[in-house]
Amino acid sequence: MVEISSSILSVKEGKETETFFALEQAKVDFFHIDVMDGKFVSKNNYEKMFSYASYIKRISNLPLDVHLMVENVEDAIEEFSALEPNIITFHYEACKDREEVKRIIKLIEEYHIRVGISVKPETPIETIYEFLPYIHSVLIMTVEPGKGGQTLITDMIEKISKLKRYINENDLEVDIEVDGGINLRTAPEVKKAGANILVAGTAILMAKDYKVIVDELRK
Ligand code: DX5
Ligand code: ZN
């Protein structure tokens, strides 16, 4: 069963409350919190995303799927762990070496939070194979991280199926989450390739009826 994680990156200022309630009514599985520090990616929405996530925590029981696009991963984990997210995903490219990747996996686990590693489009999927036995999900960026509303990079479909094959061949239990440019046109191919969690921001937020889109994406 495919799960839908709705990105709140592009939620309209002033319409946050109604949007969050409408997303909950649409039965999304997670709120996808896109945290950007203005260093790892050019946009800085760190404080805004922390306050949105804190607010969502107060008004909804839906789990938080935190996507850290930050250089200082450890500080962000300390701060966002206070919101008891279901999962914290950090970028492989934000780590200087494999020791740091392992240290961060352990740090997130110490908070009893599920661990995700994200890879940018240009990062070969093989680079994270060694960490798969220790994490819960891989977030494959199907666009360059940093902003919403971009078009899915079609080369990423092969990357998804390559990871799916490796997971199956090695009897691993790891979710494949895809993020960026996911909509009614691209969802079928990413699901066919093996993705089981779809992040969608623009495709849902631009719809008149969120539930129609969410149900369609999940099919
Ligand atoms: C981009 C973010 C994505 C994005 C969602 O850096 O990680 O989650 O906001 O993208 P769209 O709007 O294409 O669904
Ligand atoms: Zn994201």
The CA-based angle 186-3-180, given to 5 degrees, is 40
> Could you identify the atom of ligand 1 that is nearest to the CA of residue 141?
7
Concerning whether 179 is annotated as a catalytic residue, the answer is: yes
pLDDT exceeds cutoff 90 at 75? yes
- pLDDT for position 106: 98
pLDDT digits (tens, 9 = 90+) for 157-202: 999 999 999 999 999 999 999 999 999 999 999 999 999 999 999 9
- pLDDT for position 36: 98
pLDDT digits (tens, 9 = 90+) for 114-151: 999 999 999 999 999 999 999 999 999 999 999 999 99
Average pLDDT, the chain: 98
- Residue with CA at minimum distance from ligand 1 atom 9: 148
Residue written as tokens 């319409």?
A: 15
Rounded to two decimals, the pTM is: 0.98
What is the CA(109)–ligand 1 centre distance, in A?
25
Angle between helix 210-218 and 16-25 (nearest 10): 40
- Which candidate in 29, 37, 65, 179 is catalytic? 179
Give the whole-angstrom CA distance, residue 199 versus residue 144.
14
- Which candidate in 29, 34, 37, 65 is catalytic? 34
Concerning whether 175 is annotated as a catalytic residue, the answer is: no
Give the class (CATH, top level) of 3-218.
alpha beta
- pLDDT for position 1: 79
Give the whole-angstrom CA distance, residue 198 versus residue 216.
12
